[in-house]
Amino acid sequence: MQSENTDSSIIKDEILVDLQTDFDSQLLEIKFEKYQLLKIKDVSKSLNIILYQFDANKISVDKLIKKISKIDGIESVQTNKKITKRR
């Protein structure tokens, strides 16, 4: 993984987090309050995938992903990307 993502489709202030079934999504908001991490919506309730937004001026998306990935109860974390139609 690059130290800083340069992919233009990446939404620089959003991440998708796959949580274990019993993990409380609000715990991430509390733990990363200094980065203004806020839940935007449940992308998949059945898979427990949550879309979060954060202040990209306080931390890069790559650094935040690394920090969140180390937490017990987190299955995976990735950048959110703009979706375009296939041609």
- Whether the CB-CB separation of 18 and 7 falls below 8 Å is answered with no
**CATH class as words, domain 11-81:** alpha beta
Domain locations in the chain as residue ranges:
11-81
pLDDT tens, position by position, 5-16: 567 888 999 999
Q: What is the pTM of this model?
A: 0.86
With a cut of 80, say whether residue 3 has pLDDT above it. no
CA–CA dist 3, 25 (Å, integer): 26
Of 85, 61, 77, 84, residue with least CA distance to 25 = 77
